[in-house]
Amino acid sequence: MSRSRNTTTHTTTDAQSRPRSVASVLLTRRGAVYLPASGGRADPAGEAGAAVIEAELVQRGYLVSPGLRRAFAASGTGVLGDTGRALLDAVDYDLGAHRDHVPLLRGFPDTVPEDTYRHYVERVLSALFQHPDQPCVLCGTAGSVVPVAPCAHLVCGACFDGADFSACPVCERRIDPADPFLRPAPPRRRVFGRAAGAPQRLRLLSHGGDLTACQEDAARELDALLARTGALSPQDADDLGALLAARSRDGLDRLPPRVPGRETKARLVSWLLDAVPADPADPAHRCVAEAAARIDTATDVLRVLVLRSGGDPGLVDIPRFAPTPRPLRRVLLSVLDTMDPAQAVEDMRRHRRAWIHAAERLHPFEQADRFPRAALAFAALRGTPLTDDALSAVLRRTAAAHGIDATGGSVTAHRWSGRVEAALADRDVDGALALLGSRPGELVRRLDHVLRLAVDRDRSAADRSDRDRPGADRSDLDRSAAGRGEAEAGTHRVQAVVRALEHAVTSVAPAVLLSALGSLRVRDRQHTVRVFFPKAGAAKTHVTDDVRPPLPAAVTHAVTEVLTGEVLRRAGRGAPVGVAVVDADLDGMIAPFAERTASRALVTLPRGSEIALPGGRSLRLFLTWTESEASGRTDLDLSVAMFDAHWRHIGVCDYTHLRYARQAAVHSGDLQSAPPPLGATEFVDLDLDLLAAAGARYAVAVVFSYNDVPFGELAEAFAGLMLRDGPGGAGPLFDPRSVEQRFDLTGSSRACVPLVVDLQSRTLRWLDVVKGVTGTQHAVWRHADALATLAHRLTELFASGARVGLGELARWHAAARAGTVVLRHRDGSRVVYTRRDDEDVSGFAARIGTPDADSGEIAEAPSLVYLLRGDIQPADGAEAYALHPLALDAARVRLLAAPDLVTTLAPA
| Mean pLDDT for back-to-back runs of 10 residues, the chain (908 residues) | 38 56 94 85 84 94 93 87 92 95 94 93 92 90 92 93 94 94 83 63 93 93 94 94 90 87 95 76 75 93 95 90 91 94 92 95 93 94 91 92 87 84 92 93 95 80 52 47 45 88 95 96 90 80 90 94 97 96 95 91 95 89 96 95 97 96 95 95 96 96 94 95 80 92 93 96 95 86 93 94 96 97 92 94 95 88 96 94 94 94 94
Q: How far apart are CA 824 and CA 828, in angstroms?
A: 7
**Is residue 460 in a domain?**
yes
**Is residue 556 in a domain?**
yes
User: What is the domain range of residue 809?
Assistant: 575-590+804-903
Q: How far apart are CA 285 and CA 228, in angstroms?
A: 27
Strand partners, 680: 625
Determine contact, residues 844/835, Cβ cutoff 8 Å: yes
Determine contact, residues 34/211, Cβ cutoff 8 Å: yes
CA dihedral 541, 318, 507, 848 (to 10 degrees): -30
**Is residue 857 in a domain?**
yes
Are 839 and 825 members of one domain?
Answer: yes
pLDDT digits (tens, 9 = 90+) for 729-777: 678 899 999 999 999 999 889 999 999 999 999 999 999 999 888 888 8
Which of 784, 800, 816 is the last residue before a domain boundary? 800
Q: What is the pLDDT of residue 739?
A: 95
Q: How far apart are CA 36 and CA 17, in angstroms?
A: 29
Determine contact, residues 752/538, Cβ cutoff 8 Å: no
Residue 173's nearest CA partner among 789, 732, 706 is 706
Are 429 and 384 members of one domain?
Answer: no
> How is residue 231 annotated by DSSP?
P
Strand partners, 653: 640
Determine contact, residues 770/793, Cβ cutoff 8 Å: no
Q: How far apart are CA 14 and CA 630, in angstroms?
A: 10
Are 840 and 767 members of one domain?
Answer: no
Which of 401, 433, 464 is the last residue before a domain boundary? 401
Backbone angles phi, psi at 784, to 5 degrees: -60, -45
pLDDT digits (tens, 9 = 90+) for 307-361: 999 999 999 889 999 999 998 999 999 999 999 999 999 999 999 999 999 999 9
Residue 85's nearest CA partner among 53, 54, 55 is 53
Determine contact, residues 800/572, Cβ cutoff 8 Å: no
How far, in Å, are 306, 582, 611, 754, 885 from residue 868 at the CA level? 38, 9, 9, 21, 8
CA atoms within 13 A on the CB side of 189: 11
**Residue 659: enclosing H or E segment and its boundaries?**
strand 659-660
**Is residue 461 in a domain?**
yes
Q: What is the pLDDT of residue 694?
A: 95
CA atoms within 13 A on the CB side of 613: 29
CA dihedral 511, 515, 518, 522 (to 10 degrees): -170
Determine contact, residues 264/243, Cβ cutoff 8 Å: no
SS3 assignment, position 618: strand
SS3 assignment, position 642: strand
Q: How far apart are CA 675 and CA 693, in angstroms?
A: 39
**Residue 348: enclosing H or E segment and its boundaries?**
helix 341-349
Does residue 177 have a cis bond before it (omega within 30 degrees)?
no
Are 729 and 622 members of one domain?
Answer: yes
How far, in Å, are 385, 419, 455 from residue 408 at the CA level? 9, 21, 43
Q: In the chain, how many domains are there?
A: 4
Q: What is the pLDDT of residue 859?
A: 83
**Is residue 201 in a domain?**
no
Residue 185's nearest CA partner among 129, 290, 105 is 105
Are 586 and 633 members of one domain?
Answer: no
Are 605 and 584 members of one domain?
Answer: no
**Is residue 512 in a domain?**
yes
Please give the biggest Cα pair distance in the chain: 106
Determine contact, residues 568/810, Cβ cutoff 8 Å: no
CATH label of the domain that carries residue 780 = 2.60.60.30
Are 821 and 787 members of one domain?
Answer: no
Are 779 and 842 members of one domain?
Answer: no
Strand partners, 765: 610, 756
Q: Could you write out the DSSP letters of every residue in 664-716?
A: TEEE--------TTT-EEEEEEE-HHHHHHTT--EEEEEEEETT---GGGSSE
Determine contact, residues 764/611, Cβ cutoff 8 Å: yes
Are 586 and 603 members of one domain?
Answer: no
Backbone angles phi, psi at 519, to 5 degrees: -75, -35
Are 811 and 895 members of one domain?
Answer: yes
**Is residue 659 in a domain?**
yes
Are 745 and 629 members of one domain?
Answer: yes
**Is residue 184 in a domain?**
no
Are 490 and 629 members of one domain?
Answer: no
Q: How far apart are CA 89 and CA 827, in angstroms?
A: 37
Sign of CA dihedral 149, 151, 156, 162: negative
**CB burial of residue 406 (10 Å; 0-12, 13-18, 19+):** buried
Q: Could you write out the DSSP letters of every residue in 814-865?
A: HHHHEEEEEEE-TTS-EEEEE--TT--HHHHHHHTTSS--B-----SPPSEE
Determine contact, residues 818/579, Cβ cutoff 8 Å: yes
Determine contact, residues 620/721, Cβ cutoff 8 Å: yes
> How is residue 186 annotated by DSSP?
P
Q: What is the pLDDT of residue 855?
A: 86
Determine contact, residues 262/347, Cβ cutoff 8 Å: no
Pairing, β 894-896 against β 879-884: parallel
**CB burial of residue 478 (10 Å; 0-12, 13-18, 19+):** exposed
Determine contact, residues 516/556, Cβ cutoff 8 Å: no
Q: How far apart are CA 698 and CA 789, in angstroms?
A: 13
CA 616 to mean position of chain CA atoms: 30
Q: How far apart are CA 154 and CA 169, in angstroms?
A: 10
> How is residue 883 annotated by DSSP?
E
**Residue 636: enclosing H or E segment and its boundaries?**
strand 636-643
Residue 621's nearest CA partner among 753, 747, 709 is 753
For the chain, give percent helix, strand, coil, nearest 5.
40, 15, 45
Collect all residues with Cβ–Cβ distance below 8 Å to 321 and sequence separation of at least 6. Answer: 305, 306, 309, 357, 358, 360, 361
The residue ranges of DSSP E strands in 321-479, in sequence order, are none
Q: Which residues of 128-153 are buried (b: 16+ CB within 10 A; e: fewer)?
A: eebeeeeebbbeeeeeebeebeebeb
Determine contact, residues 10/631, Cβ cutoff 8 Å: yes
Collect all residues with Cβ–Cβ distance below 8 Å to 126 and sequence separation of at least 6. Answer: 137, 138, 153, 154, 155, 156, 159, 169, 170
Question: What is the chain's length?
Answer: 908
